[in-house]
Amino acid sequence: MKVIFDGDELAATAGERLLDVARRNGLPLEGTCNGDLACATCHVIVDADWFAKLPAAREEEEDMLDLVNDARRTSRLACQIVLTAELDKLSVSLP
């Protein structure tokens, strides 16, 4: 499967977190808390066509996104997006 970051297709595996795909490919997502929902350094903007296909964000993720200066309606944390076959070619961008 693949994910698309800012137009670049990257190889991914079902069950993998979007943050891990980004890190493996050298993208500048920190993920300082390593997915413990204690920061928002892996903030991504999900393409509007894909946003509704993602499971809803948990309240803890929404709380972290409230701290992001440039958050948008389709903002999510990459550490909270677990890839599935249905998300093949998920398109996101870096803020």
38-to-7, 20, 34 alpha-carbon distances in Å: 29, 17, 9
Mean pLDDT of 75-92: 97
For 17-35, write each residue's pLDDT tens digit.
Answer: 999 999 999 999 889 998 8
Whole-number pLDDT of residue 3? 97
Whole-number pLDDT of residue 23? 94
pTM of the model: 0.94
Whole-number pLDDT of residue 52? 94
Please give the tally of structural domains in the chain.
1
Mean pLDDT of 67-80: 95
Q: What domain range includes position 54? A: 2-93
Whole-number pLDDT of residue 47? 97
Whole-number pLDDT of residue 94? 94
Domain with residue 78: its CATH number is 3.10.20.30
Question: In this structure, how many other beta carbons lie within 10 angstroms of the beta carbon of residue 15?
Answer: 9
Name the residue among 37, 58, 48, 46 with its Cα closest to residue 83.
46
Confidence of residue 57 (pLDDT cuts 50, 70, 90): very high
Confidence of residue 12 (pLDDT cuts 50, 70, 90): very high
